[in-house]
Structures are given as structure tokens and as C-alpha cells.
Amino acid sequence: MEITGRVTADAVVRKAGEKEVVNFSIAVNDRYKPKGSAEYKEVTVYINCSYWLSVKTAEYIKKGAVVQVSGRIGQHVYINNEGNPVGSIDFHVNSLSILVFVKRIDDDQNVEKGSAKNAKSRKAAGSANENTPDDLPF
């Protein structure tokens, strides 16, 4: 089974016994037109994914990225703290392709706060980027 969706939160690496697993969730949008209705209804399905093959991929699976996964569906059933049975469907990923990467720049980590030199360089970089041909609206 193949699923394409957008990552809802940064991937997390967890220990499962002696092995490590990359856990992440994707959102898949669907829309349909109910019988007798003129309007479309949109539905978003959230799918929990587990990837066991390489924990290094976790650094690239960031919130907002678009991924295509193939694998199999599994189920997880347990009794919650209130004594009620709870179930979830999980996707065990065999193959993972990142179709759209997300690049994040955090000014607090990359630039010293209060530095006039860094403020000038950020301002100059911003004005230089405003006139580049890549910013054209077509």
C-alpha cells in the first residue's frame, strides 16, 4: 500500500527493546461530494507511521514535509487508564521517499542576539533577495 501525505510533526526516534524506530504522523486530505449535495466535503485522515530501517532519516522528516510511504497497515489495541479498550491503526513503513523537504531557519540559534553587524547582514540579505528573478509572481 502507498500513501502520500504531509508530516504533522517532526519525527521522533524511540527505543523499542534493542532497536530504534522513527515515529511520525502524516495527514492525508480527501474530498467527496455527498449524494444529493452540491457542496464538497473535505476530510483529513491522520496516520501514525513507524519506520524501522534507518533512524538517520528522522533528521529529514520535519513538520510540513511531503512524504510518500509504502508498507503495511497494523493495529494496536490496549486498555487505557480508565479501563476502556482503545485501538489505533498504524502504518509500518517499508519504503520512504521525501517529496518536499522543509528548510527551517531559526534566527535565535543561527544569529547572535543584539549584534549590529548581524542585523545589518540580515537586512542586506533581505533587500538583495527582494530583487531576484526567483521572486516573480509567474
* Domain CATH number, residue 48: 2.40.50.140
Residue 37 amino acid letter:
S
| pLDDT > 70: percent of the chain | 75
Mean pLDDT of all residues belonging to the chain: 80
* Residue bearing cell 464538497: 40
pLDDT less than 50: residues of the chain: 107-134, 136-138
Q: Is 134 part of a structural domain of the chain? A: no
Bridge partners (DSSP) of residue 134 are: none
Specify the number of domains making up the chain. Answer: 1
Domain assignment of residue 27, given as a range: 2-103
Residue 102 pLDDT: 85
Q: Is 110 part of a structural domain of the chain? A: no
Answer for the pair 21, 14: CB distance below 8 angstroms, yes or no.
yes
